[in-house]
Structure 1
Amino acid sequence: MEWTVQLSKAAGRKAGRGRAVAALASIPLVMTLGNSMLIPVLPAMERHLDITPLQSSLLITMYSVVAILFIPLAGYISDRIGRKMVIVPSLLLAAVGGGLAGWAAWRVSDPYGWMIAGRMLQGLGAAGAFPIVLPLVGDLFPDEEEASRCLGTVETANTFGKVLSPILGAMLAGIIWFFPFFSFPVFCLLSAAMMVWFIQVPARRERPLPFRDFIAVVAEIFRREGRWLIGVFVIGGLLMLVLFAFLFFLSSRLEDVYGIDGMRKGWVLAIPLGALCLASFAAGKAIGDRKQRMKWGAAAGSVLLAAALALVPLHSSLSVWLALFSVAGIGIGAALPCLDALITEGIEKSERGTVTSFYSSLRFIGVAAGPPLAAWLMKGGAGPLLFLLSGLALLGGALVVWLIRPEGEKGGRG
């Protein structure tokens, strides 16, 4: 009978780990819905609010700007009081921000300013949510290969949120254009409940470092690991800039040039994002704890992205565009889990919260910069924007090869 008891305990532990992974994965899924769900709705917002494409892009950008400013602080606090103690209140704060933006769109005669305020509050909540998930994975899963698989699932949830976002956003906006804002608090509350029920971590009550000592610790990390860390940070930011710029571009062109809007546009936008999601899942499974695979996976993904975007302006067929944007999505999906895993595998557990906070800030800079850049450059047609994005992706691939040198490679330390 003893073996049956042991088998039952093992099954219970496996189920517990599965619930924990589901709770962790719900956070990037929800945070992605909160931002990407608005992309197919932006043209409708421009009509209802009588605003320009640049003003509509700021509804994406201001969310990210606030997150950029507060992510390092959230990472600092999470290293001291615990990840869960930061994540759950942040999800509740993000829910309040989404509710404020929806209420303003519904009840205020000139709602744009209040909607921006709500989006900024959402960004403040986002700063303490998804960026803290990455170090929490390392805390919960000490086995490196298991942690890498979990990171792949988390990144897949992030990218699946991008697939679901245009469909869900278009469906909700088809009822009333501001419904996507009201859906976000519901998702946040569900994710917070999963965190409370399914994530069990030892309470951490460490005394926070004085700010001067914290700065000294950060300086020491960058002195020791700076070369490859800076490479990962910059590449992550470039990939997110490229992704959100071409999504903004594609959303606008589908409506303005091809007359595709509503749910149809949501499904069309989901095609390249679905390719991104599948590639992310496959990459997370394939890399394991092998840093060489992480490096060359990120490099290959960046080059594939650059090649696909460079070919888009040479064609006018929508089917060719979708095929090329899908290849671009595969490139981004292959690269992002590799970058996440390099940080988790290359940084001590006690320092991960601080390091991933800076990494997440750079990613949010890319999210913030992408839509305004696209709104500005696409006035001159597809060529200037997409050739620039292709060049940025190629630069990212070059930086991977030059700056990231895993152990065992000549000059490697990461």
Structure 2
Amino acid sequence: MAVSGLDAAEGVAGAAGDPAPSPPPNARLTAIIVASALIMQNLDSSVIATALPAMARDLGADPLHLSAAITSYLVALTVFIPLSGWVADRFGAKRVFMVAMAVFAFTSALCGLSRGLGELVGARVLQGLGGAMMVPVARLLLLRQVRPEEVVRATTWLTMPALLGPILGPPLGGLLTDTVSWRAVFWINLPVAAVGLLAIWRFIPAERQARPPRLDLVGVTLIGASLACLMFGAETIGRGMVPAPLALAGFAAGIGLGWAAVRWARRAPNPALDLSMFAVPSFRIAVAAGSLFRIGAGASPFLLPLFMQLGFGASATTSGMITLATALGAFAMKPMTSFALKRFGFRNVLVWNSVMVAASFAVCAMFTPDWPLWAVFLVLAWGGLARSLQFTSSNSLSYVDVPPGKLSSATAITATAQQLFMALGVTWGAGWLAASAAIGGRDGPGVADFSAAFLGAALPVLLAAPLAARLARDAGVRASGHPG
């Protein structure tokens, strides 16, 4: 399953006996319509993971190197997302959203026509440009219509339809791969985009367009170059794809450019990276803890389909049906999230749920081909429940205390962090697999290597708990209703 950093917030019930305020009807309609963007992105993420082994065979590439087909998209998202808020303010959120959705659909078709790994990676980069403008702007269209106390309930209308992507993705991707071709997994975005574009044009009104401050071109360039270099180093180091000194140089350049970006942001009049957002404690801690958590969460969708097919010898269809359990668990958690946050509060949920997710990864490390598939299904469903609760809580907390005038900046920062660390998660999981196989003297990953990779995924998830523990006991009280 692909759990996206864009797994938006679930609703929170009001006081006992009193229903929480519902968002205005136009906000509900907007949420349901723009969910088509999340459906496409989540569908795309989950189907490609299931199709990776078949893609590797057809393109003549190493399955581990096919992680570049995932990370290239995530890197492009990360690089271009900082522009999304400014572009939406400058040209109008509705207009930008529609153009971005059209670009995403067109480049999906290009991915399906690729004849080699290089072409596929190039098409995925262009697809990431569309996604960078599509999903953050979709969220922005919704957030601008609701009050802070309505954020969590309003976004329920966004996430419930969006979960169709990860629910349908694994079995659909496996079925299409086995019966048609891996190329077909990209073409299913086209009808979703067509329906979404028609609904947006018909039902969502254009916003009043304001002239934003001048674009911080220097800041955007420094941030984008830093993130691209960091991801190049993370994707290639120790993998034999490029010489080791070149991979290390990518890391060094990324760190240097990142330092320069922060220095620039401190003195620029309207910086692309608004560091003042980190003065809000709930925002700062939610982003930091959520970023660590996403490293492990980003590794899981990459590891599971490969493990089922390379470790268990399952077909793509069987693999998709089994990994569907994670999405079903996430879907089942949505109605329970309200109760959990009201009963325990953001702080307790984020701390103890991190421990629970780390434990679920540790159990995944015990998988062997002797495990009955029903037991694997139950473990993955449990992990889906816990991860959904974590994403929902973290994403909600990020926006609860943000001033309305800062929503564009907050959306850009959180979306950038989400995609960056989800991308790092893929390279983190692939790195553990490659390192374990190399230590064991194996040409390809075996069951023991996947066990090592799942334990590696559990580590950053566990480290997120002490960060979340720094939250105040009443953090996010306006959204959760928990007094602390």
1:115 counterpart (107, 114, 120):
120
Residue of structure 2 in register with 1:93 after alignment: 103
After TM superposition, give the deviation of residue 395 of structure 1 in Å: 1.1
Give the conservation status (yes or no) of the 8 Å contact 1:29–1:158. yes
Give the conservation status (yes or no) of the 8 Å contact 1:278–1:333. no
Find out whether 1:397 has 2:453 as its counterpart.
no
Find out whether 1:37 has 2:47 as its counterpart.
yes
After TM superposition, give the deviation of residue 262 of structure 1 in Å: 2.9
TM-superposition CA deviations, 1:140-199 (whole Å, max 9, x none): 223x44431122332344444212111121222221221112222332232222222222
Instruction: Report the more deviating stretch, 265-274 or 129-138.
Output: 129-138
Instruction: Report the more deviating stretch, 122-131 or 339-348.
Output: 339-348
Give the conservation status (yes or no) of the 8 Å contact 1:303–1:394. yes
Structure 1 residues 182, 315: closer, same or farther in 2, change over 3 A?
closer
Residue of structure 2 in register with 1:162 after alignment: 166
SS at match of 2:209: coil
Structure 1 residues 175, 216: closer, same or farther in 2, change over 3 A?
closer
- Letter of the 2:190 partner, please give it: P
- Paired with 1:390 and 1:402, the residues of 2 have a C-alpha distance of 20
Residue of structure 1 in register with 2:348 after alignment: 296
- Paired with 1:408 and 1:33, the residues of 2 have a C-alpha distance of 31
Residue of structure 2 in register with 1:333 after alignment: 388
Residue of structure 2 in register with 1:5 after alignment: none
Query: Which aligned pairs between 1:10-49 and structure 2 lie closer than 5 A?
Result: 16-49=26-59
After TM superposition, give the deviation of residue 297 of structure 1 in Å: 2.6
1:195 counterpart (191, 194, 200):
200
Find out whether 1:272 has 2:334 as its counterpart.
no
After TM superposition, give the deviation of residue 245 of structure 1 in Å: 1.4
After TM superposition, give the deviation of residue 252 of structure 1 in Å: 1.2
- Paired with 1:231 and 1:15, the residues of 2 have a C-alpha distance of 32
After TM superposition, give the deviation of residue 136 of structure 1 in Å: 2.4
Give the conservation status (yes or no) of the 8 Å contact 1:152–1:337. no
Query: Which aligned pairs between 1:225-240 and structure 2 lie closer than 5 A?
Result: 225=280, 227-240=281-294
- Paired with 1:74 and 1:313, the residues of 2 have a C-alpha distance of 38
Give the conservation status (yes or no) of the 8 Å contact 1:78–1:86. yes
Give the conservation status (yes or no) of the 8 Å contact 2:59–2:117. yes
Query: Which aligned pairs between 1:171-186 and structure 2 lie closer than 5 A?
Result: 171-173=175-177, 174-186=179-191
Residue of structure 1 in register with 2:235 after alignment: none
SS at match of 1:62: helix
Query: Which aligned pairs between 1:291-370 and structure 2 lie closer than 5 A?
Result: 293-316=345-368, 317=371, 318-370=373-425
SS at match of 1:176: coil
Structure 1 residues 315, 65: closer, same or farther in 2, change over 3 A?
closer
TM-superposition CA deviations, 1:96-122 (whole Å, max 9, x none): 2112112224xxxxx322211111111
Give the conservation status (yes or no) of the 8 Å contact 1:152–1:281. no
Give TM-score, length-normalised by structure 1. 0.85
Structure 1 residues 320, 200: closer, same or farther in 2, change over 3 A?
same
Identical-residue share of aligned pairs (%): 21
Give the conservation status (yes or no) of the 8 Å contact 1:155–1:281. no
Find out whether 1:245 has 2:299 as its counterpart.
yes
| Root mean square deviation, CA, Å | 2.6
TM-superposition CA deviations, 1:284-328 (whole Å, max 9, x none): x4478x697233333332221012212333453244333222222
- Paired with 2:149 and 2:402, the residues of 1 have a C-alpha distance of 15
Give TM-score, length-normalised by structure 2. 0.73
Find out whether 1:378 has 2:388 as its counterpart.
no
Give the conservation status (yes or no) of the 8 Å contact 1:377–1:385. yes
Structure 1 residues 372, 343: closer, same or farther in 2, change over 3 A?
closer
- Letter of the 1:171 partner, please give it: L
> Which structure dedicates a bigger proportion of its chain to helix?
1
Instruction: Could you tell me which runs of 5 or more consecutive residues in structure 1 were left unpaired when the two chains were aligned.
Output: 1-12, 106-110, 410-414
Find out whether 1:215 has 2:271 as its counterpart.
yes
- Paired with 2:208 and 2:312, the residues of 1 have a C-alpha distance of 55
2:70 counterpart (44, 50, 60):
60
Structure 1 residues 77, 17: closer, same or farther in 2, change over 3 A?
closer
- Letter of the 2:469 partner, please give it: V
Structure 1 residues 404, 128: closer, same or farther in 2, change over 3 A?
farther
Give the conservation status (yes or no) of the 8 Å contact 2:86–2:215. no
Structure 1 residues 291, 153: closer, same or farther in 2, change over 3 A?
farther
- Paired with 1:191 and 1:66, the residues of 2 have a C-alpha distance of 23
Query: Which aligned pairs between 1:115-134 and structure 2 lie closer than 5 A?
Result: 115-134=120-139
Instruction: Could you tell me which runs of 5 or more consecutive residues in structure 2 were left unpaired when the two chains were aligned.
Output: 1-22, 217-267, 437-448, 478-484
- Paired with 2:450 and 2:420, the residues of 1 have a C-alpha distance of 23
1:204 counterpart (170, 186, 209):
209
Residue of structure 2 in register with 1:387 after alignment: 455
- Paired with 2:104 and 2:273, the residues of 1 have a C-alpha distance of 30
- Letter of the 2:407 partner, please give it: R
After TM superposition, give the deviation of residue 16 of structure 1 in Å: 4.7
After TM superposition, give the deviation of residue 27 of structure 1 in Å: 1.5
- Letter of the 1:112 partner, please give it: L
- Letter of the 1:391 partner, please give it: L
Give the conservation status (yes or no) of the 8 Å contact 1:300–1:335. no
After TM superposition, give the deviation of residue 15 of structure 1 in Å: 6.2
TM-superposition CA deviations, 1:81-140 (whole Å, max 9, x none): 4322321111111112112112224xxxxx322211111111001101112233322212
- Paired with 1:377 and 1:276, the residues of 2 have a C-alpha distance of 26
